[in-house]
Amino acid sequence: MLQTPAVLFFAIDTLIPAHGKIREGFDEFGAALDHTGIPAVWVTSRSRLQIDDPRRTMDHRHPFIAEGGCGIYLPEGYFHLPVPRTIRLGRFTCLPIAEPLPAASQALETLSAELDVPVVPLRSLSPRELVQNSGLPRRQAELARHRDFDELFFFAGVSNDHISRFVREALESKLQLRRHGMLWSLASGASLKRCVAELSKLYSRALRSHPKIVGVATQEEGVELFPACSRNILLKTAQEGEPASVDGLKSRELSLADADVWDRLLESVAAKT
């Protein structure tokens, strides 16, 4: 592995929609990063199956963090050093951070029963129901419900008070609950901060150096990612209305509306200081 001034942890869900076109210029930016030897670790709330097509389309050959900090997925032979505590998932060596399924499924079922708050896991739906409730085309919807760690679900006709109580109890039980539009996900042991830390250690060992750990995300996606990184770049999705920090963390601010945003981003992450 070649020396690099930085390792980029890039939250991709805004730039690569679950259904639709990849943000213009993002594929060329990925190629430019590869040319300069800067690894781009994709960070996503989706599963490894959901981002398989985008990875092939953009020829992404670096590790990625999936299901909101549940696991680190390493391409075959990426690090030529021993990586402990890994499991095999599809084509990838995975360093699990959260407990693999069915831990989250069992926790969701238990919490729902104890609180008498009905939930519907996506994996329990028929193909037609899945499309109706996910808002995705059939193929993407099928990929969305096949997970390695977290459980996707929605609440079945309950009040906001019931949902708030469910969220509080999940937090007290040290479960990770995230909202994705109308859907929710529940995981046991997920930690994006730990994912970034563990992967950063692997890069330091492989490179025998300590590259900058740079987080790149939009306002919403940066809430979890930015505290885990040493430097951050906030991508504004609108020209006005978004602050240049996330939870008080300073970051450089770039607007996705600017024609030269990818050139400026590359210049920023490639700088040696």
Backbone φ/ψ region at 90: left (φ over 0), alpha (ψ -120 to 50), beta: left
> What per-residue confidence (pLDDT) applies to 191?
98
Rounded to 5 degrees, φ, ψ at 97 are: -105, -45
CB 102 within 8 A of CB 148: no
Using alpha carbons, select from 217, 244, 199, 265 the residue that is nearest to residue 30.
Answer: 265
Residue-level pLDDT at 19: 81
Terminal-residue alpha carbon distance, the chain:
21
Q: Which pLDDT value is given to residue 69?
A: 97
The pLDDT score that the predictor gives to residue 272 is 67
Secondary structure class of 11 (helix, strand, coil): strand
Name every residue whose Cβ is closer than 8 Å to that of residue 201 and which is 6 or more positions away in sequence. none
Residue-wise pLDDT tens digits, 56-82:
999 999 999 999 999 999 999 999 888
**pLDDT by residue for the chain (273 residues), tens digit each?**
668 889 999 999 999 988 888 999 999 999 999 999 999 999 999 999 999 999 999 999 999 999 999 999 999 999 988 898 999 999 999 999 999 999 999 999 999 999 999 999 999 999 999 999 888 899 999 999 999 999 999 999 899 999 999 999 999 999 999 999 889 999 999 999 999 999 999 999 999 999 999 999 999 999 999 999 999 999 998 654 555 566 667 789 999 999 999 999 999 998 766
H helices present in 89-156, as ranges: 103-115, 127-134, 138-145
Q: Which domains does the chain have, with CATH numbers?
A: 6-97+191-270 (3.40.50.1000), 103-187 (3.30.980.20)
C-alpha pair distances (Å), 216 with each of 46, 47, 143, 246 = 17, 20, 26, 12
